[in-house]
Amino acid sequence: MDNISYHDKAMASAGLPYDNINWQNIEGQPFGTASGFNVIIFNDANNIIDIEGPAAIGGSFYSPRGLSVGFVRKGDTAVGYSPDLVRFLVGGNVSMIGPLVVVGHVVVAGGFNAAKGSTYLIGKDGTADGLQELKFLYHNNGGSQYWTPSDQGDRYAVSSYDVPRYIPANRIGADIPGFFSDARESIGYYKNCIEDLTPNGSVVDNNYEWILRGNDPVQNVFLIDVRPDGLIDKGIRAEVPQGSIVIVKLRTGANAHLQYGVYGEKSKTGQTLYVFEDATNIYMEKSSDIWGSILAPQATFHAHLTGGHVSGNAALGSFAVNADSGFEFHYYPFVGGVTCQAMTTPAVPVPAVPAPAVPAPVVPAPASPAPVLPSLEVPPACPAPPPCPAPQPCPACPAPPPCPLPESCPACPPCPEPIPYPPCPAPPPCPAPPPCPACPAPPPCPAPEPCPVCPECLIQPGIIEGCIWGCGCDNIHDWNVKLYERFKDKDVFLHGVQICGYGCFEFAVPYEGFYIIKVRMSNNCCKTFRCKPIITLNNIGVECFMIE
């Protein structure tokens, strides 16, 4: 993950409650409920390594590596813990060789298989039965009877140290296929709505970028048509009023080819929407940074072999990338507020009531905007529009025909008298039971063998424990003890404590992993060559460990 600025407030409410996984339309928001997801993919996806916001995948997800979801960070502090929000939702199967690490819940409708190091960080709601609820949600019949989520202070951790764990959709009564079906219909409706919008801004081509120029304070619509080759080989930059929406309609033909490094601007990320009107395949042929949201529910997105990112919402048909790629999705939700021409979000159909036709007033079509030139003349006033014709009176409704009289019911025939059953014969007497034989005396019990002495377990897995007993200079110092996890040659901070002079530390972590403890003096003003901490390590229950 890169160190760009993130949106804590958006992340804190991102996702869907596990007890209410249902689609909702949102007026002016093309992504509807999916605006709370970094990416929604209607079919299969593979090999993504990092999704900073929640993800919803309608098909299956598979990867020979691991995946992190929901780790939006500021410095070393994770944000967005929630007791009920689903941050990884899959309608098919999950098959991963590496671990799945999610800030939030994991709900899967199909099969699930991920490495034992998988961990989900769940926020607390202040109730006393939070751990019991998590044990129920993530129960696995093949798991250890002693398994339980761990309490980590400000959150719970659901760890898969014995068997893969997730929430099956049927356990919470979630209709995952219905959710994705409603999402596809709603997002497709908005895509068609946006395609009908008339561009109100101009596109200037200066050989290395397209400059989008518009002056509407609310919504600026642009069209870039690169058919038939579908080459998007220039940058895209918008010159529009501050805070206005930028909608870029891209007509590429069946195959869109992204061949430039940067599209859009970070400062306008939340207001920018790219709509791929006719592409069925989007090929990122150069590692690219896309600042803005993508609306392409019909297309397969082929990410670049070495990586790249999309910063915004993304609605895609499917996603495919090479297993060695470092492609990421960054969570910058689209602000919404899209205004369509004479269209609103889809609603439940209502039977039409016949009404007399009312002739619509004739409004002249808007003329193409003329270039603005310096002038001292005052433009003529616009003529007043013609008055609307008065509506014709509605015709009177015809009287309903009289209802026919019901036919009289026929009389029921009399029921026959029941035939009495013959009396049952008396049962024969039972024979007397034979006498029971005498029981033989039991053989004497052998003397029990002495129980073997159980070996003492010296190492407790998942615990790193030790103590600082002072300094080599015989003076008292304050020490900072920090725990890091090394992942892909990068040290990621996990926990830290401060010890005043003398004291012990203990960290609980998954057994798998490479951990490093770094001990530093809090105050360096009196440090000499003899200032070295005196440390003892009481328990190292992890796979790889070092101290510096």
DSSP states along 388-420? PPPPPPPPPPPPPPPPPPPPPPPPPPPPPPPPP
Q: What tokens does 88 get?
A: 């990884």
Determine how many CB atoms are found less than 10 A away from the CB of residue 439: 6
Looking at the DSSP assignment, which residues form a beta bridge with residue 424?
none
SS3 content of the chain, % helix, strand, coil (to 5): 10, 35, 60
DSSP string, 87-133: EEEESS-EEESS-EEEESEEEESS-EE--TT-EEEEE--S-TTHHHH
Residues 15 and 28: beta-carbon distance below 8 Å? no
- Tell me if residue 159 falls in helix, strand or coil: strand
Looking at the DSSP assignment, which residues form a beta bridge with residue 503?
468
Residues 256 and 279: beta-carbon distance below 8 Å? yes
Report which secondary-structure segment, H or E, holds 346: none
Rounded distance between C-alpha atoms, residue 157 and residue 148, angstroms: 9
Q: What CA–CA distances, in Å, run from 334 to 113, 185, 356? A: 33, 19, 42
Rounded distance between C-alpha atoms, residue 313 and residue 334, angstroms: 6
Identify which of 315, 310, 319 has the alpha carbon closest to the alpha carbon of residue 276.
Answer: 315
Q: What tokens does 526 get?
A: 């009196």
Report which secondary-structure segment, H or E, holds 185: helix 176-195
- Tell me if residue 225 falls in helix, strand or coil: strand
Going by the DSSP 8-state scheme, the letter that residue 184 receives in this structure is H
Q: What tokens does 487 get?
A: 């992942």
Q: What tokens does 442 get?
A: 């039991």
- Tell me if residue 32 falls in helix, strand or coil: helix
Q: Is the peptide bond before 380 cis (omega within 30 degrees of 0)?
A: no
Chain centre to alpha carbon of residue 212? 31
Q: How many residues does the chain have?
A: 548
What sign for the dihedral angle of Cα 336, 339, 343, 347? positive
Residues 495 and 483: beta-carbon distance below 8 Å? yes
Read off the pTM: 0.62
Report which secondary-structure segment, H or E, holds 26: none
Determine how many CB atoms are found less than 10 A away from the CB of residue 244: 18
How are beta strands 281-284 and 255-258 bridged, if at all? Answer: parallel
What pLDDT score does 365 carry? Answer: 37
What pLDDT score does 371 carry? Answer: 34
Report which secondary-structure segment, H or E, holds 487: strand 478-487
Side-chain-side CA neighbours of residue 385 (13 Å):
8
Q: What tokens does 139 get?
A: 């129960």
Rounded distance between C-alpha atoms, residue 236 and residue 73, angstroms: 28
- Tell me if residue 309 falls in helix, strand or coil: strand
Q: What tokens does 124 get?
A: 């607390």
Q: What totals of helices (H) and strands (E) does the chain contain, helices first?
A: 3, 40
Per-residue pLDDT of the chain (548 residues; tens, 9 = 90+): 333 333 455 666 789 999 999 999 999 999 999 999 999 999 999 999 999 999 999 999 999 999 999 987 554 334 578 999 999 999 999 999 999 999 999 999 999 999 999 999 999 988 888 899 999 999 998 999 889 999 999 999 999 989 999 999 999 999 999 999 999 999 999 999 999 999 999 999 988 899 999 999 999 999 999 999 999 999 999 999 999 999 999 999 999 999 999 999 999 999 999 999 999 999 999 999 999 999 999 999 999 999 999 999 999 999 999 988 889 999 999 999 999 864 444 443 333 333 333 333 333 333 333 333 333 333 445 556 667 666 666 666 666 666 666 566 666 667 666 666 577 778 788 788 888 888 788 788 787 788 777 666 678 898 999 998 888 888 888 889 999 989 888 898 988 998 888 889 999 999 888 999 999 888 765 677 788 889 999 899 898 999 98
Identify which of 219, 284, 274, 283 has the alpha carbon closest to the alpha carbon of residue 251.
Answer: 274
Rounded distance between C-alpha atoms, residue 382 and residue 385, angstroms: 9
Rounded distance between C-alpha atoms, residue 37 and residue 54, angstroms: 5
- Tell me if residue 270 falls in helix, strand or coil: helix
Q: What CA–CA distances, in Å, run from 269 to 5, 251, 273? A: 12, 21, 8
Rounded distance between C-alpha atoms, residue 239 and residue 215, angstroms: 8
What pLDDT score does 363 carry? Answer: 34
Rounded distance between C-alpha atoms, residue 471 and residue 479, angstroms: 10
Q: What tokens does 317 get?
A: 């048909």
Q: What tokens does 498 get?
A: 């401060």
Q: What is the CA radius of gyration of the chain?
A: 35
What pLDDT score does 368 carry? Answer: 36
Q: Is the peptide bond before 228 cis (omega within 30 degrees of 0)?
A: yes
Identify which of 210, 187, 184, 189 has the alpha carbon closest to the alpha carbon of residue 199.
Answer: 210
Dmax (CA) for the chain in angstroms is 130
